């Protein structure tokens, strides 16, 4: 999978996680009258938040790798010239 494909896939994953976290936070609020359920939902929310944090770090690493790849392409000397005119 190319860096661009990894980047796109990870961005989609992050977007899904953000939606899930928003929904889970609202769910935790609605469960305020049920402490045991709210605690379980809160645990899931923490897990999703940690997953989002890791995905954002991974996205940053992929972006850095892409910049390095771009810089390496710019520094490469041109290929051999063809004698065919």
Reported as a pLDDT band with limits 50, 70 and 90, residue 79 is: low
What percentage of the chain exceeds 70 in pLDDT?
Answer: 88
Q: Could you state, in order of their start, the residue ranges of all structural domains in the chain? A: 3-64
Whether pLDDT at 83 is above 70: no
Distance CA 14, CA 16 (A): 5
Contacts of 68 (CB under 8 A, 6+ apart): none
Whether pLDDT at 40 is above 60: yes
Distance CA 11, CA 23 (A): 19
Rounded to two decimals, what is the model's pTM? 0.76
What percentage of the chain exceeds 90 in pLDDT?
Answer: 67
């Amino acid at each position: 999978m190319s860096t661009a494909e990894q980047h796109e896939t990870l961005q989609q994953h992050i977007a899904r996680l953000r939606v899930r976290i928003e929904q889970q936070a609202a769910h935790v609020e609605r469960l305020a009258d049920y402490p045991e359920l709210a605690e379980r939902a809160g645990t899931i929310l923490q897990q999703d938040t940690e997953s989002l944090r890791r995905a954002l770090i991974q996205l940053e690493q992929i972006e850095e790798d892409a910049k390095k790849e771009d810089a390496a392409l710019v520094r490469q000397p041109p290929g051999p010239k063809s004698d065919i005119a």
